[in-house]
Each structure stands twice: as C-alpha cells, then as structure tokens.
Amino acid sequence: SAPSAVRLVLPAPGDAAALPAGTDLERAALMRGEAVTFDGDGASLALVPVQESSDVLVWNAFRMTPALVDRDGAGLAEAEYTMREAVRDATAALTALPPTPGAPSARATVAELAGYLGSTPLPPGASARAHRVLDTVAMVEAILLVAGERQPDTGIGLGSAQRGDAAYASLRRAVRVARTAAINAVAQEALCAPR
C-alpha cells in the first residue's frame, strides 16, 4: 500500500531520532548521518544512501515492523519559532568568543556561509515558511561553523565546558530538527497533492 508519510531523518551520535536502537538501520543511518523513511500503517521502509564511488550512489533498504514513529514531530510553525530563538542564542555564543587577530569579520563569514548553506532547492510550490525555516537553519549552521572554527574547544576555552558544549549540542540538534521539519512538510505536501 502507499505510504502515509515520507520523512527525512538526520540522526547524530547520542540522538538517533526515530531509529530503533541497536539495529542495522540505526548503525547505517548514523554512519551516513541521514535516512529517508516511508511510513505505512504497519511497517516502514527506510532507505540509507551509500556513496560507492564519486558518481555511484546506492540506497540500502531496511523494512521495519512496526512502523517507525516520528518522536520529534516538529511542525513548520514550531520549527520557525525554534529557529528564531536559535539565531539569538547562536549569535550570543559567537559574540562571546574572543576576537581572532587577522581573521576576516565573523559577520561577513557567517553571511557568506549562510548564502551557500541556504541554497537548498525546493520544488515549485513549496511554502514560503519552509523556505524561511531553511534559510534560518542555514544562518544558525553558519554561525555554529564560524564559532567552531574560531574556538574549536569553545566550552573549555570559555571556562565552562559543560555549559558551552551543551549549548552548542542543543543548537546543532535544533538545526537538525528544523531542517527535517521543513523538508518533511514539503514532502508531505507533495505526497498528499492531487494527482
């Protein structure tokens, strides 16, 4: 039968999203950092891409019973709100870092990186909110990349390893959740569109 939902899953170490622990699917998806699931009433089909060579991409398929459950389940409105908060928090973290002599302006670097990271092509008709969420995700991700480059051991360097590292981990998770919310909303719209 046709799937009722198609979802992008972006697992990370310590945050395997909706993937069942200890399974081949979890291991493969964590190694790649991504999977796509097609969820039906009683089962899910999960696909994990594997780059076999520079021009060959193979998809490993995993059938999961019962169907996987989307534990994050963030909607676009919630993702947009979370990303607004994340921009504020990420900007505060970046400005708290000591300046790096001779380095280009952090603001200019973030803007350039955000422009590159925000170039996610979406199908025609994708909602303006999905575009906004992905643009904001790109901004937060760019800030995190610049902060990480300026001070690789941010938490340790600021004398607050646990608090600093936890804040960055929380922002990275927010980026993953918001990106999947936007992509999944677009995919669901396409899945439900009249043929």
pLDDT tens for each residue of 138-162: 999 998 888 877 765 554 444 444 4
pLDDT tens for each residue of 104-127: 788 888 899 999 988 778 998 899
DSSP bridge partners of 100: none
Q: Would you say residue 163 has pLDDT above 60?
A: no
pTM: 0.82
Structure tokens at 182: 């936007």
Q: How far apart are CA 93 and CA 143, in angstroms?
A: 9
DSSP bridge partners of 45: 38, 63
Nearest one of 148, 167, 134 to 106, comparing CA atoms: 148
Residue 68 has φ and ψ, to the nearest 5°, of: -70, 150
pLDDT tens for each residue of 38-58: 988 889 999 999 999 999 999
